[in-house]
Structure 1
Amino acid sequence: MTNTEDLVADEWTPVTPKVADHWAIANFDEFFETVASTGKKVPAKNYLKSGTWPVIDQGADFIGGFTDDETTLIRSPKPVLVFGDHTRCMKFVKGAFAPGADGTKLLLTKDGIEPRYAYHLYFAIRLPNRGYSRHFGFLKRCKFPVPPMNEQRRIVERIEAMFDEIDHGVENLKKARASLGLYRQSLLKSAFEGRLTADWRARNADKLESPETLLARIRSERDARYKAALDDWQNALSDWREHGEKGKRPAKPRRQAEAFMDKEWLEKLPELPGSTSWVACNQLSGQISDGTHKTPTYTDTGIHFISAKDIRDFKVDFSSTRFVDKTQHVEMSKRCNVEMGNVLLTKSGAIGRVAVVDTATSFSLFESVANIPVLPPMQSRFVAYAVYHIANSYFISHAEKGVAVRHLHLEDIRKMPLPLYGVEEQAEITRILDDRLSAADALEAEIDAGLNRADVLRQSILKQAFSGKLVPQDPNDEPAADLLARIKAEKITRAKVTRKTKAIA
């Protein structure tokens, strides 16, 4: 089977569409003509944020930028179709505009072909996807169904009326999804400011634990782990000496340096109920670290290598990870050892995603992910929710470094303020959040399914439209074969005029 990214246009055979008997089939040159844009294309580096004329390029946004240079303008009495040679996008443009420099192909429809008919038809055609390689050659090999001119207009009217109804439904679904996002933010805010468990606290006053008591328990756990690490080091050092001090001397474990929340945060954060207080993330965890800063040598199989893209929905997604061998994994684990119950936070790239490590599967981390070893008796899922809320609602805008590439530094994460509730209240907050966020996730899945159905319905409408089944036929319409014959005759006439002009010259 041919990989579409390796396919070239000459090797691709387009499907000839099945059409109604009174329709015709046109080649590219019978359907389109290209518009010369030499000397008019505007490089992306010259785009203005605002200006007199829009720059239309092959990007996802309809307008890529602006220009004040009138010499770059394309002025056409007919609408122009702008095709993205690299992106396969298609834009319908009326009025004067400047073309973008990279990969834009400008097309006009032949007389007798409705521009909006051609525009909608393009989205029923499935060109091969060659990534960022060029695609115009594939478009030029396509076969285009041509109905009578009046039927083209009826098809366009029907498609756009039906699409307007779908667009209205899609807009409502997107509003609902946006509302879910606001609901999640509001829910987390209520949880960590104490409003979600206010009734629980009133009923369970005897179960409330002071921050000082809880911090003492966490310090005790940290000290115990450090003592165990020292004991392991002493044993490793003894073995090293017994074997003639061969190899590298075992490194003595370092005691974790405490990092405290910056005082300026107290002016930004809301007041918490009762004796609950804000503390630095570092006070609730072991040593916070990130993954390797060197790109490893990848292998086809082996140990999963996790980067920011693999953190989603509070889980580690192993479905599309890269791999490293065991030797590299062991070396990387000396810097950052990931264990069950740790919380992961993406610190660059897709910043602010969080996951709880709930698997015994071994994996290594790239530097885009921070590892937060949650210390008992803190509950990992509570910490994960709190880190996500603070990181996305407060901390990122306060602590991000740079503009083009957002990046959280480890020191920022260590000082990140988190609300310190008692262990039993942590469990209650986590229970409520799990229930309500799961319900929100289920509703969002239904919304996404609705959006997918809208896309399928659009394709179904296009399929009917361009096979002659969407609108009724009119026997009084000029036959498409006559229309296509006229287009071919005009092409021959133009070619003769061109040759005559060159001969005279």
Structure 2
Amino acid sequence: MSRKYLQYYLSSPVFRRWISSSVSGVTGSHTRAKSKDILTQPVPVPPLAEQHRIVETLEEQLSRLDAAEAQLSSVLRRSAGLEKKRLDILAVGRSLRRSGNEDLNSLEESKTGRFDEGSLIELPRGWKWRRASAVCEQIVSGSTPKAHLMSPGNGDVPFLKVYNISPRGFVDFSIDPTFVGTGTHEGSLKRSRVFPGDVLTNIVGPPLGKTAMVPDMYPEWNINQAIVSFRAGADLTPRWLALVLSSPYVLGMLKRTSKATAGQFNIAVSTCRDLPIPCPPIDEQEKLNEAADQWLTLSESVRGAVANSRVRATGLRTALLKRAFGGGLVPQDPADEPAVTLLARIAAEREAAKPIRKATKRAARPRKATAVAAATKIAPAPTPASATSVQQELFDQ
């Protein structure tokens, strides 16, 4: 029997469905099927020549699918790279030159000294470098209350955790939503209240720097201690602030200040307040926001098209394997040796390969004197032939 044919069958949806319905035990988080059940599972066996034709056709068609899926992955990688470059172009301009003295005249004095102002790139004319603390009304980190003050699924005020900030730049509150009561929100968590339009960035990771704007699903929210909230002031629009904090250049400056502790990377809130922010005029911010929205919409369209193509590729792969083991992938040839002859030959070869066991003489055991004991002595039953010998041979071939 063709090993390749058997390998493809074991990866087919038919066999996987049988495995899923036949699991019998649980080890940790894994389920498993009994080996004896797998050995007795019927396998469709066409003539050997047809097996080779099936394998040849499968390899040809699946290699095309593999190449198509590799191209889809390449499109995603290139799209992600272009998106990052576009964000940098919008957020800090195209220049790669270091900033001149004029660009730094408006930059307030650093309180932490964690950023090298001399390495800042030159901004477009009319833009200024400013400290985040100077252009934001508020920059605060959150806090986590005691467990009994949080409730999963429903409650008064939504409580955001790092996993609720999507890497794609939005708040996803469908993931394990948590709430706190109004008393907690206005009491011990009063300092970490956030509102729609505030910009959130996680400062504990990895990964660091997931950024999103608070949506208007609820009038007020709260955040845990691994998230910092930026509230835009009069010189910034919230959308521009979110764009800047998503820029690889600006976000990279912030990440480089992180410190590792017990396998985690942490950014200080004081560093977030000291972060240099590129500030163009408000009207230019609005235009750049619109350009960013158009670019991000295009990127989402590309990702959606790739996702749909991957679903189609998975469906084609499943259909191809199903057809292969249903007899519809390649034509049958009446001249092929029948499968029953192949199975009979496998069984005969297996039987011939069995080692010959020689009878050994055992020492006679003393018999008990009573006739009842002799009459009730049970002779050993003959060993039946294995019901799965042919199936075992299929796996051995």
TM-score, normalisation: structure 2: 0.72
Q: Which residue of 2 aligns with 1:277?
A: 128
How far did 1:343 drift?
Answer: 0.2
Q: Which residue of 1 aligns with 2:48?
A: 149
Q: Provide the rounded CA distance (Å) in 2 between the counterparts of 1:380 and 1:211.
A: 24
Q: Which residue, 315, 336, 345 being the options, matches 2:201?
A: 345
1:465 aligns with 2:311: no
Q: Which residue of 1 aligns with 2:10?
A: 121
How far did 1:429 drift?
Answer: 1.2
**Aligned residues of 1:342 and 1:371 also touching (Cα < 8 A):** yes
1:321 aligns with 2:141: no
Q: Which residue of 2 aligns with 1:306?
A: 160
SS of 2:247's partner is: helix
The two structures, once aligned, show a CA RMSD in angstroms of 3.6
CA deviations 1:9-42 (Å, max 9, x no partner) are xxxxxxxxxxxxxxxxxxxxxxxxxxxxxxxxxx
5 Å matches for 1:379-418?
Answer: 379-390=237-248, 394-395=252-253, 397-402=255-260, 404-418=263-277
**Aligned residues of 2:114 and 2:271 also touching (Cα < 8 A):** no
Q: Which residue of 2 aligns with 1:363?
A: 221
Q: Provide the rounded CA distance (Å) in 1 between the counterparts of 2:113 and 2:161.
A: 29
Deviates more, 1:306-315 or 1:416-425: 306-315
Q: Provide the rounded CA distance (Å) in 1 between the counterparts of 2:193 and 2:87.
A: 29
Q: How many percent of aligned residue pairs carry the same amino acid?
A: 25
Q: Provide the rounded CA distance (Å) in 1 between the counterparts of 2:60 and 2:7.
A: 17
5 Å matches for 1:240-259?
Answer: none
2:193 aligned partner, one-letter code: N
Q: Which residue of 2 aligns with 1:235?
A: none
Deviates more, 1:183-192 or 1:354-363: 354-363
List alignment gaps of at least 5 residues for structure 1. Answer: 1-111, 197-209, 216-257
Q: Provide the rounded CA distance (Å) in 2 between the counterparts of 1:152 and 1:467.
A: 12
The alignment of Structure 1 onto Structure 2 pairs a total of residues equal to 336
Q: 1:325 to 1:186 in 2, by over 3 A?
A: closer
1:353 aligned partner, one-letter code: K
Q: 1:116 to 1:399 in 2, by over 3 A?
A: farther
2:3 aligned partner, one-letter code: E
Q: Which residue of 2 aligns with 1:158?
A: 57
Q: Provide the rounded CA distance (Å) in 2 between the counterparts of 1:472 and 1:435.
A: 51
SS of 2:163's partner is: helix
Q: Which residue of 2 aligns with 1:268?
A: 119
Q: Provide the rounded CA distance (Å) in 2 between the counterparts of 1:132 and 1:340.
A: 42
SS of 1:305's partner is: strand
**Aligned residues of 1:293 and 1:366 also touching (Cα < 8 A):** yes
1:423 aligned partner, one-letter code: I
Q: Provide the rounded CA distance (Å) in 1 between the counterparts of 2:9 and 2:33.
A: 20
How far did 1:176 drift?
Answer: 1.8
Q: Provide the rounded CA distance (Å) in 2 between the counterparts of 1:470 and 1:408.
A: 58
Q: Provide the rounded CA distance (Å) in 2 between the counterparts of 1:407 and 1:492.
A: 67
Q: Which residue of 2 aligns with 1:440?
A: 299
Q: 1:391 to 1:363 in 2, by over 3 A?
A: farther
Q: 1:116 to 1:344 in 2, by over 3 A?
A: farther
Which has more radius of gyration? 2
1:422 aligns with 2:311: no
Q: Provide the rounded CA distance (Å) in 1 between the counterparts of 2:234 and 2:298.
A: 29
Q: Provide the rounded CA distance (Å) in 2 between the counterparts of 1:133 and 1:488.
A: 39
How far did 1:430 drift?
Answer: 0.8
List alignment gaps of at least 5 residues for structure 2. Answer: 96-103, 362-397
Q: Provide the rounded CA distance (Å) in 1 between the counterparts of 2:90 and 2:326.
A: 55
Q: Which residue of 2 aligns with 1:192?
A: 91
SS of 1:146's partner is: coil
How far did 1:260 drift?
Answer: 4.5
Q: Provide the rounded CA distance (Å) in 1 between the counterparts of 2:133 and 2:12.
A: 53
How far did 1:120 drift?
Answer: 5.4
Q: Which residue of 1 aligns with 2:70?
A: 171
